[in-house]
Amino acid sequence: MTIKTFATAAALTLTAGMAFADAHASNPMVGGAEMLAEKNIIENAVNSPIHTTLVAAVMQAGLVETLSGPGPFTVFAPTDEAFGLITDETLGALMMDENRAQLATILTCHVVGAEVFADAIGGMIAGDGGAHPVETLGGCTLMAEMSGDAITLTDENGRLATVTIADVDQSNGVIHVIDRVMLPKQ
């Protein structure tokens, strides 16, 4: 191998390595954990230290296989703090086997059957005059609006959530971390 061939190979390897690193660097960290775009929604959620309650709820509701599937999905993922706004009694009741269907409905009110990044949501909000209805797989309609640079969602009960981390790319969609649990109309 000549020095020129070696230098060219080294440069190509370095360039490919930097491109690979840049692809990973562009995905936001969640709770201090790296989120890998080549992993699916469930694989990344399991690694997030701020989504333990959400992961437990998804498992209890029987949604692991669905959210591990091809999608694409957009998931508005409430943090453990968001679930902490629900009383322990209510959350405990939702996690009981006999309430699995209700839990699944609540969770799927956080899921859209398409991959939608924050810029696209912002564009839909602007295109609809400041508020855009978001239809979820759980049959809920969330109202997306802008609050400064942040996207907010309001459920059918007037509960407001803010997207605190946007555009966490997944192999089967995208996650937007939110600070409140959205509920179906009550």
Measure the CA–CA gap between 15 and 29, rounded to whole angstroms.
24
Would the pLDDT of 186 be above 90? Answer: no
CB-based contact 83:54 (threshold 8 Å): yes
Query: What 8-state DSSP symbol labels residue 96?
Result: S
**Measuring CA to CA, which residue among 96, 81, 99 is closest to residue 181?**
81
How confident is the model at residue 30, as a pLDDT? 94
What average pLDDT does the segment 31-45 reach? 94
Would the pLDDT of 8 be above 80? Answer: no
Would the pLDDT of 46 be above 50? Answer: yes
Q: pLDDT averaged over the chain?
A: 88
How confident is the model at residue 14, as a pLDDT? 36
How confident is the model at residue 13, as a pLDDT? 36
pLDDT band at 4 (very low <50, low <70, confident <90, very high): very low
pLDDT band at 19 (very low <50, low <70, confident <90, very high): very low
Give the pLDDT confidence of 64-114 residue by residue, as tens digits: 999 999 999 999 999 999 999 999 999 999 999 999 999 999 999 999 999
What average pLDDT does the segment 19-23 reach? 40
What average pLDDT does the segment 37-65 reach? 96
How confident is the model at residue 131, as a pLDDT? 97
3-state secondary structure of 158: coil
User: E-assigned strands of 69-185?
Assistant: 73-78, 111-112, 132-135, 141-147, 150-154, 160-170, 173-178
Upper half-sphere CA count for residue 32 (Cβ side, 13 Å):
2
What the chain holds in terms of domains, given with CATH numbers, is 3-178 (2.30.180.10)
**pTM for this prediction:** 0.85
CB-based contact 141:156 (threshold 8 Å): yes
How confident is the model at residue 16, as a pLDDT? 37
How confident is the model at residue 26, as a pLDDT? 82
What average pLDDT does the segment 54-59 reach? 96
How confident is the model at residue 67, as a pLDDT? 96
* Burial (CB count <10 Å: 0-12, 13-18, 19+), residue 90: exposed
Measure the CA–CA gap between 66 and 89, rounded to whole angstroms.
28
